Amino acid sequence: METVMVAEVLDKSGRVHSRLRLERFPVSIGRGYHNDIILDDEFVSPDHARIELDEAGQPVVVDLDSDNGTYVLPRLTRITRQPLGSETLLRLGHTLIRLRSADYRVPPARRDSLGLTRATRWLTQGAGAALAYGTALALIILDHYQGSAEVVSPEQLLLAALSIALAIPVWAGLWALVSRSFAHHAYFVPHLAIASAAVVAFFALDTLGQYYAFAFSAGLSADLLFQLVTVLVSAAALYGHLRFATLLTPRVIGTTALLTAVVLVGMTGFSDYVGSLEFSDDLPYPGELKPPAFAFTQPKTPARFAEDAKALLPALDAGELD
């Protein structure tokens, strides 16, 4: 049987830099230009090593008394002669060479799940992205209109939306750059869709949170809920961006996105907490006011309200707010 091997010269990140099919032996390796495999590495000797067939016809690597030696990974053992299996990783000088036999079994193809669900595919195509982007801008304009105490002109409203209108494509553009370098495709439209959807989600959840805080006079629980929702929305957005920007597995991306979101929200939460320890004469009541139709809680009498307020005293007198 004829022995065929493949030699792969790897770069520092482990990617294949060059690949050579070896059919005729011996094969010489070194820095000199007379070699079969020429290594452009100043730590490699001109005649460094040779791959030859032993008596049984099995391939072996032989060190040619090189200056810096030949090593076998993973344990970096220096060798003078080493039989080659189906896969061997060698280190010569600073260069890694992977030697595989031609019958090396590669794993089956990875399932390409990018944009597999119908909803994701729809969102990340032109129409969906345009809708998400348009909705985000419409919400910004609506928020500005509802929040202004003065008569506002359409021009002022457009101006208010301008910064976000620009910020979303710029953000998507940055992700597109990342995509281009790691996934070899820009995916600008999906990134635009994801960023816009995140803006819409934040708006929707913030509004819901405000109504919740109003309806239940909730301070702390509304804050915690908001933090949790922020983590989930940012993690989802980050997951989407990373799915298009990298070739990592969904599990790795999911974990990375969630951890990043937790760390980011945790950091702002921690800085808020440190701020709350500072002395302040602010009144920490939930300040949300919504139209009467959204007040779901049964109102108390003034007497009952004053009575309930006495529950503040033990913590206050115990110095918990000092």
Partner 1 sequence: MHYLTKAGIDSILLCLIWLVALPSALAQTQQIFSRYQDRVVQVRILEASSGAKAGVGSGFVVSASGLIVTNYHVIADLVHKPGLYRGEVLTATGLLAPLRLVNFDVVHDLALVATDIAFPRHLTLATGPVAIGERLYSIGTPLDLGFTIVEGTYNGLLEHSLYEKIHFTGSINPGMSGGPALLADGRVVGVNVATAGNQVSFLVPARYVAELLARTPGIAPLEPGAAQALLQRDLVANQARYMERLLARPLPTVPLGDYRVPGLVAPFLRCWGDAEHDPSNVYEQVTQQCSSEDDIYLSRTQQTGMVHFQHVFVAGRNINRFRFYALYQAQFNQPYEKIPAEREDVSRFACHTDFVRHGSLDFKAALCLRRYKRLPGLYDAVLRAATLDHNTRGLVTTLVLAGVSADNAHRFARHYLESFAQERRPWKR
Which residue bears the tokens 């959807």? 197
The binder of partner 1 chosen from 76, 151, 220, 274 (CB under 8 A): 151
Cβ pair 196, 168 in contact under 8 A: yes
Q: Does 275 bind partner 1 (CB under 8 A)?
A: no
Q: Encoding tokens for residue 60?
A: 């072996």
The binder of partner 1 chosen from 53, 162, 166, 312 (CB under 8 A): 312
Cα–Cα distance, 68 to 234 (Å, whole number): 51
| Of residues 154 and 299, the one with the C-beta less far from partner 1 | 299
Cβ pair 43, 66 in contact under 8 A: no
| Of residues 62 and 152, the one with the C-beta less far from partner 1 | 152
The binder of partner 1 chosen from 53, 208, 263, 306 (CB under 8 A): 306
What's the order of all strands across the beta sheet hosting 5-10?
Answer: 16-22, 5-10, 95-101, 87-92, 70-72, 77-79
The binder of partner 1 chosen from 83, 134, 250, 287 (CB under 8 A): 287
Q: Does 282 bind partner 1 (CB under 8 A)?
A: yes
Residues 182-221 as x/- pattern, contact with partner 1 by CB under 8 A: --------------------------------x--x-x--
Tell me which residue of 219, 234, 226 sits closest to 282, measured CA to CA.
219
Stretch that binds partner 1, among 64-72, 109-117, 256-264, 298-306 (CB under 8 A): 298-306
Count of other CB atoms within 10 angstroms of residue 123: 21
Q: Does 271 bind partner 1 (CB under 8 A)?
A: no
Q: What residues numbered 86-145 form the site for partner 1, per CB under 8 A?
A: 145
Q: How far is residue 71 from each of residues 17, 49, 88, 194, 322, measured CA to CA in Å?
A: 19, 11, 10, 48, 66
For partner 1, the binding residues (CB under 8 A) are 145-151, 214, 217, 219, 279-292, 295, 297-303, 305-313, 315-317, 319, 321-322
